[in-house]
Structure 1
Amino acid sequence: MMNVIFMGTPEFAVPTLKKLYEDGYEIKLVVTQPDKPSGRGKKLKKSEVKEAAEELNLPVFQPDIVKKQENIDILKSYAPDVIVVVAYGQLLSKDILTIPKYGCINVHASLLPELRGAAPLNWAIINGDTKTGVTTMQMDVGLDTGDMLLKSEVEIDENMTVGELHDILMHKGADLLIETLNKLEKNEIVPQRQDDLLSNYAPMFNNENRKIDWGLTAKNIHDLIRGLSPWPTAYFTMDDKIVKVFKSSYTNDNPDYEPGCVIKASDEGIFVKAKDGIVILKEIQMPGKNKMTVEAYLRGNKFPEKIVF
């Protein structure tokens, strides 16, 4: 069995760490991001990977910058056969990549070379893709540019949210990583170079690319909403205040209203005109309120009709 250093931070990485442990790999060290202030009280919050590592009684290392020489020396001292990296959150230097015999193996949440970067899960849905998956990759100094090892595909149906896709792929990734390590030890994998011409970048989100543009097609808007649900959420503004949207559907009915016009609000949802159809908002969060279904919101509130967002 290989000796492993595991590097990861969010919930997505936890199933892989637990799978390595359950399958008998000797996890020498778990490397994760430093605790960060969270909430109104700014109390330090552990990463999900740190919490899992402590439950398993595994040693934890939290360098602020992992590629500092003193931190590289610490990693070398564990003499790992492989470093497994899942959503760690820091770029690794060549000095780290060359430490283990089998290199650094990354579990990436897309079918590379598609969707390199920080948010491939979200963009797969926003782009309207009907399939995605996970890829194990031999890391190099580029951003998700290393040679591909194994892949596992997942179909995306037209109403799947990024939260649902995340939960499927984090377990798929764990299984694929174990399969990858087994085959690497047996010399049964031929790494494949990525075709850079086929790659797209999946950037992080900001206020601009989360905002709903009602001039887009109804399907485009529906895909944006589910691709950002439950986090970081798509939104629109009403009276200069942000309204978050968590769930929607759409129709191809194309009545004669301008894009962004609220056609009606009922227990079925808030019907808003898009470029070529109607988007039906089903779960929202009004300013200062909790997230709730439109049906629940309308029990105690009215939603204005015939206004234009």
Structure 2
Amino acid sequence: MIRYAFFGTPEFARTILESLDCRGFRPLLVVTQPDRPKGRGRKVAAPPVAEWASNKGIPLLQPEKKNDPELLCVMRELSPDVAVTAAYGQLISEEMLSIPKRGFLNVHPSLLPLYRGASPVQSAILNGDKKTGVTLMLMDRGLDTGPLIASSTMLISDDIDAGSLTGVLAVKGGELVADVLEDWVAGRLQTVPQDESLATMTRRLSKEDGHVNFALSVRDVHNRIRAMHPWPGAYAYMNSERVKILSARIPHDIDELVECDVSFQKDDHFGENASLVIRQPGAITIFKKTRLLVRCGDGWIELLRIQMPSKSPVFSYEVAHNVHEGASFDLQF
């Protein structure tokens, strides 16, 4: 039996922990972040990993600091074969790294050395990458700089958002760790140093990163909306009010919109009293009375779900009839 400790906090980590447990790898100890205020009501809630450990009756620690004396003491007493980390959210001290006999293994949702740091999934979507994956690495003192043990690659579909992609990568990550854990502890696997010439770094996202600039290309706008869901969330301003954009797509089936860039025609799509007008980025039009489209720098994007200020999320077709002709998102705010 592999004796290991698990360090992780969010849903991504819980999925990996569940995968390991289902494959017969139950941890001796689970370490996660302290309970924090969460949601609109700011009620204190346990992290997903803490909930999982409590339900399974597994010893749980939630230290505030990386050099927590109790955690160091417990880890020394347990002397695990190995520790597994996934989105733990705290730095791990050198003293802690030295305790497990076979070190700390980290599951990172990118193909290292690409996208080290806090937002690898969002960065891959934002940059329009066609593939990504998960990497298992041996932790060292740096941030995601340790030698590589194994990886698993997948394609990024054009319609997947960061939340969904993170879920898929969590499943792959759990399978990857479970597949190699015994061989690693037995000393049958070798590591490969990361190629520093290929390394890229990501940063922690802020709410401002969700702002959508419709003057950019359709592809860039679509990538940002997908990359920012569910957090920090994509948004744009209309009449100085923030409108959340929950999902969108690139409408490949609307050839008629090419003509609408320069004029409105009197037809079933655009009303009885159309007038000649140049469509600028941010301009909104309702296609076939139900589809809400916004002009970008090089074409149109269709908004599927939005949330107006102080309102519940809705599908765009539910509010299309309330959008007046000539409405537009603000380009500067």
- TM-score normalised by length of structure 1: 0.93
Paired amino acid for 2:15: P
In structure 2, give the amino acid aligned to 1:72: L
Cα distance between partner residues in 2 of 1:279 and 1:42: 35
Whole-angstrom distance in 2 between the partners of 1:304 and 1:193: 58
Question: What residue number does 1:298 align with?
Answer: 320
The one-character-per-residue Cα deviations of 1:242-288 (angstroms, maximum 9, x if unpaired) are: 11111112258662422222233665532111111111111111111
2:229 is the alignment partner of 1:208: no
Shift of 1:153: 0.8
TM alignment of 1:174-189, pairs within 5 A: 174-189=174-189
Larger-Rg structure: 2
Identity of paired residues, percent?
36
Structural mapping, 1:116-195, within 5 Å: 116-195=116-195
Residue 280 (1) aligns with residue 302 (2):
yes
Structure 2 residue runs of 5 or longer lacking an equivalent are: 263-278
Q: Give the aligned residue type for 2:307.
A: Q
Contact 1:66 1:92 in 2 (8 A): yes
State the match for 1:247 in structure 2: 247
Unmatched runs of 5 consecutive residues or more in structure 1: none
For the residue of structure 2 that corresponds to 1:173, the secondary structure is helix
Using the TM superposition, give the Cα deviation of residue 304 of structure 1 relative to its aligned residue in structure 2, in angstroms. Answer: 5.2
| 2:136/2:150 contact within 8 Å kept | yes
1:70 Cα deviation from its structure 2 partner: 4.5
More divergent stretch after superposition (276-285 vs 259-268): 259-268
Report the Cα distance in structure 2 between the residues aligned to 1:225 and 1:303, rounded to whole angstroms: 24
Structure 1 residue 41: deviation in Å?
A: 4.5
Could you say which residue in structure 1 is the equivalent of 2:328? 307
Distance in structure 2 (CA, Å) of the matches to 1:247 and 1:40: 21
CA distance in 2, matches of 1:85, 1:62: 14
1:256-271 matched pairs, under 5 angstroms: 256=262, 257-264=279-286, 268-271=290-293
8 Å Cα contact 1:115/1:200 also seen in 2:
yes
TM-score computed with the length of structure 2 as normaliser: 0.87
Query: What secondary structure, in the 3-state scheme, does the structure 2 residue paired with 1:27 have?
Result: coil
Cα RMSD of the aligned pairs, angstroms, is 1.9
Residue 87 of structure 1 corresponds to 87
Q: Equivalences for 1:63-102 in 2 at 5 Å? A: 63-102=63-102
Q: CA deviation digits over 1:127-182, x for unaligned, max 9?
A: 11111010001001111111111001111111111122122111110010112212
Question: Distance between the aligned counterparts of 1:283 and 1:73, measured in 2?
Answer: 50
Partner AA of 1:242 in structure 2? R
| Alpha-carbon distance in structure 2 between the residues aligned to 1:129 and 1:247 | 19
Corresponding residue for residue 3 of structure 2: 3
**Amino acid corresponding to residue 103 of structure 1 in structure 2:** G
C-alpha distance in 1 between matches for 2:135 and 2:215: 35
Deviations 1:64-109 (A, max 9, x none): 0122345323322221111110111001111111111110000100
For residues 240 and 184 of structure 1, the distance between their equivalents in structure 2, rounded to whole angstroms, comes to: 56
Contact preservation (8 Å) 2:161, 2:229: yes
In 1, Cα distance between the equivalents of 2:297 and 2:141?
43
Separation of aligned partners in 2, 1:63 and 1:304: 56
Q: Contact (CA 8 Å) 1:8, 1:89: kept in 2 or not? A: yes
Whole-Å separation in 1 of the counterparts to 2:114 and 2:178: 23
The question of whether the paired residues in 2 share the 8 Å contact of 1:265 and 1:303 is answered with no
TM-fit CA distance, 1:183 = 2.1
Taking the aligned partners of 2:207 and 2:38, their CA distance within structure 1 comes to 21
Q: Which residue of 1 aligns with 2:311?
A: 289
Displacement of 1:214 in angstroms is 1.4
8 Å CA contact 1:251–1:277 kept in 2: the answer is no
Deviations 1:164-210 (A, max 9, x none): 21221111100101122122134332211111221222222223321
- Distance in 2 separating the partners of 1:41 and 1:278: 37
